[in-house]
Structure 1
Amino acid sequence: MKILITRPSPMGEELVDGLKNIGIFAYHFSLLDFIFSDGLKGLTKNIKSLYKSDKIIIFSPKAVHYTNWYLKQNTLNWPSNPQYYAIGQSTARLLQQYIKKKF
């Protein structure tokens, strides 16, 4: 069996290494890369839509991390009204630290 891992770096490589350690061959090819940039300032134009949302879906721990960083830098809190959906256990656990709701 061969597995293609598409998680962003460095988590993708870590998963490949873990799989190889238990005898499963895996490749890593990241479909997305997350980088810190000043482009987050562009969120200022769209931040109001975050607070008007009824559902928010978060796909990765990195998305939680960078969103939380942006909110803190701008003295904002996570919106409390929307229903949150997290894809993956690690995303849900991290998101639950910032939003006191179960996922």
Structure 2
Amino acid sequence: MNVLITRPDQRGLELVEMLNQHQIFAIHQPLFTIEAGVELPQLPSVMARLNAGDYVFAVSKHAIDFASATLEQTGFHYRSDLNYFAVGQQSAQYFSARSEQPVRYPITSENSEGLLQLAEMQALSGKNLLILRAETGRDLLAEKVSSLGAEVQCLECYRRKYVEENLTEKISLCKRVGVDTIVVTSGHILTMLYEQTAENDRIWLNECRLIVVSQRIANMAYKLGWKQNHVILSEKADNNSLLETVLKEIEKSN
């Protein structure tokens, strides 16, 4: 098995190293880098205006990192009278460590749908919700809580800067070196991967085993031409879970 890791930044590099330690050939080719969002300077004042008992959601570790760094630089601490949420156990633990506050998360479905099932989300009238996210993202959470009577503000903590230089050629190189498995951790990555793959390489792309972290991304893959038996759903999105998924696929192939 030869694996392409598209997860950006340090976590992508860490996953490559974990695979290499198991004698698995892996390439790190992120499709974008992460940089600070333009709305970050507003974060301290936005959080200061929230009422006691209001909700703060972090959609990713990137959002947590940029938000926490901004608050630290301005001497503003995470308020203990707010309720904090994350989409999964790993990100909740990380958010809790950075904020020094308890962070709630969905146990069964680590996604926006799971968040919406939490007991705290069933009575939102009069609540203010602050969502820490990228410049774009899924609108399901914001739309749903707005319909339940909450006031929602999305704050851009980070933005994606897409890799432009020779990306199509870099993807083609992955084909030439025998990549047959691709790890994709977001819908944005999947869409860009497909769009930046040369047309004469897309047969190879759709024949690759695709490891994804949510059913939503899997459904996107089906629409882009992957067969269902070529799409593997990792139980969670953290690197340990992704490694375990790769190892299980190798075991099934032997």
Structure with bigger gyration radius: 2
Query: How many equivalent pairs are there?
Result: 98
Distance 1:93 1:78, change over 3 A: same
User: 2:40: which partner in 1?
Assistant: 43
| Runs of at least 5 residues in structure 2 that lack an aligned partner in the other structure | 105-254
| Runs of at least 5 residues in structure 1 that lack an aligned partner in the other structure | none
SS in 2 for 1:18: helix
1:55, CA displacement in angstroms? 4.3
Coordinate RMSD, CA, aligned: 3.1
Q: What letter is aligned with 1:85?
A: A
1:59, CA displacement in angstroms? 0.9
User: 1:65: which partner in 2?
Assistant: 65
Q: What letter is aligned with 1:48?
A: V
1:76, CA displacement in angstroms? 1.5
Query: For residues 51 and 4 of structure 1, what CA distance do their matches in structure 2 show?
Result: 44
Does the CA contact (< 8 Å) of 1:58 and 1:87 recur in 2?
no
TM-score relative to the length of structure 1: 0.64
Query: For residues 45 and 9 of structure 1, what CA distance do their matches in structure 2 show?
Result: 25
Query: For residues 58 and 81 of structure 1, what CA distance do their matches in structure 2 show?
Result: 17
Distance 1:82 1:3, change over 3 A: farther
Identity %: 23
Q: What letter is aligned with 1:3?
A: V
Query: For residues 48 and 4 of structure 2, what CA distance do their matches in structure 1 show?
Result: 33
Query: For residues 69 and 63 of structure 1, what CA distance do their matches in structure 2 show?
Result: 10
Distance 1:68 1:2, change over 3 A: same
User: 2:55: which partner in 1?
Assistant: 54
Q: Does 1:13 align with 2:10?
A: no
TM-score relative to the length of structure 2: 0.31
Q: How does 1:83-102 map to 2 (within 5 A)?
A: 83-87=84-88, 89=90, 91-97=91-97, 98-102=99-103
Distance 1:50 1:28, change over 3 A: farther
1:50, CA displacement in angstroms? 8.4
Query: For residues 50 and 87 of structure 1, what CA distance do their matches in structure 2 show?
Result: 26
Distance 1:21 1:50, change over 3 A: farther
User: 2:219: which partner in 1?
Assistant: none
1:3, CA displacement in angstroms? 3.4
Q: What letter is aligned with 2:76?
A: L
Q: What letter is aligned with 1:6?
A: T
Distance 1:92 1:5, change over 3 A: farther
User: 2:82: which partner in 1?
Assistant: 81
Does the CA contact (< 8 Å) of 2:86 and 2:103 recur in 1?
no
C-alpha deviations, 1:27-71, integer Å up to 9, x for none?
322244234x6x66x4233551686463413312x4323211110
More strand by share: 2
